[in-house]
């Protein structure tokens, strides 16, 4: 069954823009990305949208539908009533390039700031031996498709542009947690998590977890445990004494 759906789509560029009204055919089983493609094919051939897999796996088609961060290819039209007007806007936290396409390079810059996996020096690739139980906790974080919806929704940067420099965001703090939980990683990730990547700015509002299309428990399983690990290191009297003695000797 088809019907004529009402849409408001943001069009513009880095200089500014506005919402445009469209009426587009909707067919059974379609997702919002299908509608955007039909809009391109029939009424707005120059409408910019980023997408790749149309299967919820590449993380390219992130945008906001009725103000909620979502993957366009995984948002079913059946979620909405036929009489609803559906608003599609670009991610709010990142600068707009054109229409629904934003510049997400902030996320790649933050990713580069995290030192890579650091296995013991005497261990060569191929000699890594671990049990499933060793990676049980951090395995969940590997499901991340880097859609950056969590980065977009976190109020620490969404509402405070000036925090971008000092806050890596949930996706990257989760990466630090993943490495810190890795049994073969030798780096101590905790001081940098606190001092360079802004772990303390996260006040566990859990908005990141709510929008994650991979249903990763970012806050409960990565951010809170990382906070606990940082606190243990910082306030454990034995660790504190050890650091103090080391500093004195230095």
Q: Does 204 bind ligand F3S (CB under 6 A)?
A: yes
Q: Which residues ranging from 137 to 196 are in contact with ligand SF4 (CB under 6 A)? A: 144-150, 171, 174
Cβ neighbourhood burial of 75 (10 Å; 0-12, 13-18, 19+): buried
Sequence-ordered list of residues with C-beta below 8 angstroms from that of 55, at least 6 positions apart, any chain: 73
**Pairing relationship of beta strands 85-89 and 68-71 according to DSSP bridges:** unpaired
Instruction: Rule CB under 6 A: say whether 219 interacts with ligand F3S.
Output: yes
- Residue 56 contacts ligand FES per CB under 6 A: yes
Binder of residue 51, out of ligand SF4, ligand F3S, ligand FES, none (CB less than 5 to 8 A by kind) = ligand FES
Interface of this chain with ligand F3S, residues 20 to 49, rule: CB under 6 A: none
The interface mask with ligand F3S, positions 166-195, x = CB under 6 A, is ----x-------------------------
**Minimum separation from the CB atom of position 233 to ligand FES (A):** 37
At its nearest, how many Å lie between ligand F3S and the CB of residue 222? Answer: 9
Q: Which residues 6+ apart lie within 8 Å of 43 measured at CB?
A: 22, 24
Stretch that binds ligand FES, among 38-46, 57-65, 124-132, 228-236 (CB under 6 A): 57-65
Quick check: 51 and 61 in contact, CB under 8 A?
A: yes
Among 73, 193, 208, 216, binds ligand FES (CB under 6 A): 73
212 binds, among ligand F3S, ligand FES, ligand SF4, none (CB under 5 to 8 A by kind): ligand SF4
Of 59, 90, 169, 198, which lies in the binding site for ligand FES, with binding defined by CB under 6 A? Answer: 59
Instruction: With beta carbons less than 8 A apart as the criterion, state whether 19 and 87 touch.
Output: yes
Closest CA to 35 of 61, 69, 56, 67: 61
Alpha helices in 43-169 (DSSP H): 105-112, 132-139, 149-153, 155-158
Q: How far apart are CA 52 and CA 45, in angstroms?
A: 18
Which residue among 42, 43, 52, 139 contacts ligand FES (CB under 6 A)?
A: 52
* 54 lines the binding site for ligand FES (CB under 6 A): yes
239, two tokens? 């660790």
219 interface partner picked from ligand FES, ligand SF4, ligand F3S, none, CB below 5 to 8 A per type: ligand F3S
List of residues 6+ apart from 11 with CB closer than 8 A: 17, 18, 19, 20, 44, 47, 99
Asked if residues 90 and 16 have their Cβ atoms less than 8 Å apart, the reply is: no
DSSP-derived secondary structure letter, 16: E
Number of residues that bind ligand F3S (CB under 6 A): 12
Query: Closer CB to ligand FES, residue 101 or residue 179?
Result: 101
- CB of residue 75 vs ligand F3S: minimum separation in angstroms? 20
What is the contact surface with ligand FES in residues (CB under 6 A)? 51-54, 56-61, 71, 73
């Amino acid at each position: 069954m088809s019907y004529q759906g009402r849409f408001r789509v943001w069009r513009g560029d880095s200089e500014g823009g506005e919402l445009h009204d469209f009426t587009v055919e909707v067919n059974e089983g379609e997702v919002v990305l299908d509608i955007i493609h039909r809009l391109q094919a029939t009424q707005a051939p120059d409408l910019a949208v980023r997408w790749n897999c149309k299967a919820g796996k590449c993380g390219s088609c992130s945008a906001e539908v009725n103000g909620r961060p979502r993957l366009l290819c995984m948002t079913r039209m059946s979620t909405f009533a036929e009489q609803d007007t559906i608003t599609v806007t670009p991610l709010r936290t990142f600068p707009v390039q054109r229409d629904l396409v934003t510049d997400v390079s902030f996320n790649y810059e933050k990713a580069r700031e995290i030192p890579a996996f650091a296995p013991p020096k005497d261990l060569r690739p191929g000699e890594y031996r671990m049990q499933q139980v060793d990676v049980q906790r951090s395995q969940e974080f590997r499901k991340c498709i880097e859609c950056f919806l969590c980065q977009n929704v976190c109020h620490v940067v969404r509402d405070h542009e000036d925090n971008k420099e000092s806050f890596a965001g949930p996706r990257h703090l989760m990466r630090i947690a993943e490495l810190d939980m890795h049994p073969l990683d030798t780096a101590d990730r905790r001081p940098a998590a606190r001092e360079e990547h802004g772990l303390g700015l996260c006040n566990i509002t859990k908005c990141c977890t709510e929008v994650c299309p991979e249903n990763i428990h970012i806050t409960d399983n990565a951010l809170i445990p990382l906070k606990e690990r940082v606190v243990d290191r910082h306030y454990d009297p034995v660790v504190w004494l050890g650091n103090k003695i080391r500093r004195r000797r230095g």
